[in-house]
Amino acid sequence: MQPTPNSPDDHALGNAGEVAPTSASATPAFSPLYQQIKGLIMNSLQASEWKPGEAIPSEMELAVRYRVSQGTVRKAIDELAAENLVVRRQGKGTFVATHAERQVQYRFLKLFPDHGDASSEGPAQRQIVDCKRLRASADVARSLNLRTGDAVLQVRRVLSFSKAPTILEDLWLPGGPFKGLTAERLTDYHGPMYALFETEFGVRMVRAQEKLRAVLPDEVQCALLKITPHTPLLSVERIAYTYNDTPMELRRGLYVTDQHYYRNELS
């Protein structure tokens, strides 16, 4: 699959017929060279050739490796950086993105306090309510690309800000990749859950989709969040994906929004 050197003057690898990644069929499916390079780099990321937080090879090194110009590698990395798979740091190098960095911690959490900012509020207090292994129901299985009855892990937790319970979350994780995850490890780990997933299970969440609604709580939810039955809650259902658009987490959250709001930037 890698471009092969032929004639010394043959830098411009034939564009159309050169690489036929999947389909040998009708559509020309022209793919620019930098897209192919991007794919190769993504493969290496997925294969953990370089781990989260580490530097990937320099642009020049990659250009030599793939036998293309530095500019082509640059454009490939540009797109990876735009997708947050990688972080560029001038003068230092390009690094595999990680949820463990201070700067991008809680990248997927869009809930902010009405007054002050996230830092003034301090970190959330986390309480694992439950963590058990069970068989996937039909809808959980569908969300995670599993079959009904497959082993999944279910976690329930409460997040509190300034001692006020604010988020009640249920998580479902595929049993295979997350074998060995226990309530204890979740409780003991300090830092974002997605950082734990990276370091302990080699699962890096790359993007996610959320569906929001307004709902009313049931009795159990009222008790856990310490609210009355008529308090409207923001329901946030998230599916998080690793590389390859593989779903690796289903999360159903209930947010108390009298002191916080969910922020979204449109452009």
Partner DNA sequence: CAGTGGTCTAGACCACTGG
Partner DNA sequence: CAGTGGTCTAGACCACTGC
State the Cα–Cα distance between residues 260 and 253, nearest whole angstrom: 14
Q: Which of residues 63-82 bind DNA (CB under 7 A)?
A: 68-72, 74-75
* 56 sits in which H/E element: strand 55-56
Nearer to a copy of itself, 65 or 110 (CB): 110
Instruction: For residue 12, give the DSSP letter.
Output: S
Q: Which of residues 6-25 bind DNA (CB under 7 A)?
A: 11-13, 15-16
Per CB under 7 A, the segment of 60-68, 127-135, 148-156, 157-165 that binds DNA is: 60-68
If contact means CB under 5 to 8 A according to the sort of partner, which of DNA, a copy of itself, none does residue 75 touch? DNA
State the Cα–Cα distance between residues 221 and 166, nearest whole angstrom: 11
Nearer to a copy of itself, 64 or 215 (CB): 215
Spatial contact of 94 and 52, defined as CB atoms under 8 Å apart: no
Nearer to a copy of itself, 65 or 107 (CB): 107
**Pairing state between β 151-161 and 233-241:** unpaired
Q: Shortest gap between Cβ of 139 and a copy of itself (angstroms)?
A: 13
User: Looking at this protein, which amino acid is placed at residue 173?
Assistant: L
Query: In the block, which residue shows the tokens 């998230």?
Result: 238
Nearer to a copy of itself, 175 or 249 (CB): 249
Query: And the tokens for 164?
Result: 């006020």
41 binds DNA (CB under 7 A): no
Q: Shortest gap between Cβ of 4 and DNA (angstroms)?
A: 13
Q: Taking the CA of residue 94 as centre, how many other CA atoms within 13 Å lie in the half-sphere pointing to its CB? A: 22
Q: Which residues bind DNA (CB under 7 A)?
A: 11-13, 15-16, 28, 30, 32-35, 56, 58-61, 68-72, 74-75, 88-94
